[in-house]
Structures are given as C-alpha cells and as structure tokens.
Amino acid sequence: MWRLSRVVCPCRLPSLALLATRSQLKCVILLPSRGRSRRQHELENEAMNLNPSNSPDAFLGGHEEDLLSAEESQKVWMVFGGLIVLLTYSYLNMLTYTASYWDKALYSHGWIVPLFAALLFMIRRKPLTKVEPSERWIGLAILLASLAIRLVASYYDSNPFDRLSFIGALLGICQLMGGTSMLRWAGPPLGFLVLMFPLPSVFENSVLLYMQKMAAISSTWVLQLLGAPALRDGNRIMIDQLPLEIADACSGLRMTTIFGAMSVAMAMLIKRPWWDRSTILVSAIPIALITNIIRITITALLFMALPDNETVHLLVHDYAGFAMMPIAMGLLWIELQILESITVPIETDEYAAFGAAHG
C-alpha cells in the first residue's frame, strides 16, 4: 500500500501551487504508508537544503529582490534611450553613408535590418535587474574603447572599423545600463545590426569573383549531368554556341547576404537546441549557393528550349531571381524537418529549476 507524502517539500501549500503552475515541478513522491524510513528523513533534509528560504524563487532561479521597481526601470529606460539617441546622432555621418549602399541590389536588404533588430529586441526583452558597480565600469570601458576605435578609424579613413565601433558602443551602453543580464538578451539583436553594413570592398571583390567562378563550374557540371552540351569559358556557359553570361548579379552573393540575414534572425527566434540553431547558420551559405545553381540551370534549359525567343530570355533572366527565395525557404524547411526528426526538443522551463537550485 503506497500513499502520496507531502513532507518532502518544505514549501507551504500556496508556494507549492505556484511552483506547480510556473515550473510544473512535482514535489511529491511515493512512500510506504507505514512508518518513516531513513530514506524519508534524507529526502526531507535534501529538500530543506534545496530551498532553505521556503521561496519558489529559489527553484525558479530568480530573486525578486534583484528586480528593479517600475519607477527605477522607467528611469533606466529613459537614460538608455537618451544615450542611444546621442550615439546615433554622433554616428549620423557614418549611418548616412551606409544607407547609400542600400540603394544597390546587393545590399537592398539593409533597410529592413534595423527594423527587424528592433523587433528582436522587443521580443527578447526581460525585466531589468540591479547592476553591480563593477559591471557598469566594464560597460563604460567598452563604450570608451569603441569611441576610441572610431577616432582612429576616422583618422585612417577605415569605414569597416568605424561601423564596427558603432556596434561595440551599443553593447557598451547595454552593459553600462543593464549589466551582464541585459547584455545577454539585448546583445544578439544589437549584433544583428552588423548585417546592415556593406562588406569591405577588398573582401566583396574577392568573394564576388570566387562565387562567379563556382556558380559557372557547378552549373556547367549540373547541365552536363542532365545531358546538355554545356561548356564553360571563364564565367560564361556555352550551350550549342549560345552564351550564358554569369554576371555579378548572378554570382549568388546578393542571395547569400539576404538569406544569411534571414537565417541569423531565424536562429534567434526558434526554440530549438543550440546545435540546431548552429546548423541553420552554417547551412545558410550552402543553401544560397544551391539555390543560385538551380536558378542558372533552369535559365540555361529554357534558353535551350526557346533559343530564338528574346522576350522569354529577357523575362527569365530578369525575373528568375524572384523564385530564389521561395526555393531557399523550401530547402530550409526540409532542413528543419530533418533536424526535428533526429533531435528531441526540451522544454527548458521544466529543468531550469533544478539547475538553479544546485547552482
């Protein structure tokens, strides 16, 4: 004969109900109905050590006394917003110059990056907590170091370092106002702003040439595998004396930058293990390249089927790019389905209480 014993949990009934609601913890075990065994006493002592303060926050891993009041939080947010406005104004010349790149097809996604970063910031936002003076000093050091990097970058006319110093200054303000706890949840959305900046010119040119070459080689190989008489001549594909030029816009670099930004945002939003999110980030470039190869191959096959129809050639060449994103999203969906079938998601709220109790 077995019965449910409540002596294991030292919490009062309201606290136990709160625990059961918030963390779905089961603080009752099956014990023999006759007598009190030595094991029962051990479990009682263990439960008392896990929660000596008789508070559900000890299991939940949080401390209500560390949270700022509504009035204190409002003051912190006001100062935080003022510092962000001042920082943006001081970097206005750099941001204006950066926005001029967004009119180019390669960086046309730059307009939406700040908006999406703000959305991620709001989604991931958590209550503010009290900050130790040492953490504020670290934030001030990061802010001053970022501003110093900007001075040096301005002197040597180094735009990439000037742009990166803006991200560093934003992170420094987060550390200064909210400490490490704020930096943990606000850091990724602010780091996402890096994707609105253009690539350094040296890196962009070298990557562009390499991706053009890889697109031409891979597409020629796929066409030959399908039985088409395709030959590669530099960045051109010759099909029955019909030249198909792999121009800069067909290199796949634009697709890589846009899809890479989307993959980073998705990795921040989905509730999956870290290895699933890392896989999504790593696979962004291969998926973008595969999508570009599919586009070039389909374009070449249509050129073969309708060699004399210039109207079709123009429409296919100009509008085939719109089909790249649906294809890439389809490949990403397939990847997510595979990851879901080989990994088991864990609801962290059910296990965080035990980790918090032991650490």
315 & 241 share domain: yes
**DSSP string of 153-218, one letter each residue:** HHHTT-HHHHHHHHHHHHHHHHHHHHHHHHHHHHHHHHHGGGGGSPPPHHHHHHHHHHHHHHHHHH
253 & 332 share domain: yes
pLDDT reported for residue 132:
92
pLDDT reported for residue 262:
81
- The pTM for the full model equals 0.66
- 160, part of any domain: yes
173 & 216 share domain: no
8 & 126 share domain: no
- 356, part of any domain: no
Q: What domain count does the chain have? A: 3
Q: What is the pLDDT along the chain (359 residues), one digit of tens a residue?
A: 444 334 344 444 344 333 333 334 333 333 444 445 555 555 555 444 444 444 444 434 445 558 888 999 999 999 999 999 999 999 999 999 999 998 887 788 888 889 989 998 998 899 999 999 999 999 999 999 999 999 999 999 899 999 999 999 999 999 999 999 999 999 999 998 998 998 888 787 788 778 888 888 888 899 889 888 888 887 788 887 777 777 666 667 777 877 888 888 888 888 788 888 888 888 888 888 888 888 888 888 887 777 666 676 666 666 666 777 788 888 888 988 888 888 765 555 444 443 444 44
- 137, part of any domain: yes
151 & 263 share domain: no
262 & 310 share domain: yes
186 & 209 share domain: no
189 & 302 share domain: no
Of 198, 224, 246, which residue is a domain's last?
198
- 216, part of any domain: yes
pLDDT reported for residue 80:
95
257 & 240 share domain: yes
- 317, part of any domain: yes
> What's the angle, vertex CA 346, arms to CA 342 and CA 352, rounded to 5?
150
- 65, part of any domain: no
Of 42, 60, 78, which residue is a domain's last?
60
Q: Which range of residues forms the domain containing residue 245?
A: 202-351
Of 183, 198, 213, which residue is a domain's last?
198
- 259, part of any domain: yes
181 & 148 share domain: yes
Q: Name, in order, each residue with C-beta under 8 angstroms of 95's C-beta and a sequence gap of 6 or more.
A: 88, 166
Between the CA of residue 101 and those of 67, 108, 200, 239, 288, what are the distances in Å? 42, 8, 12, 36, 21
46 & 85 share domain: no
- 102, part of any domain: yes
Residue 320: how many CB atoms within 10 A of its CB?
16
Q: Phi, psi at residue 5, to the nearest 5°?
A: -110, 135
182 & 211 share domain: no
pLDDT reported for residue 314:
67
Task: State the Cα–Cα distance between residues 233 and 102, nearest whole angstrom.
Answer: 33
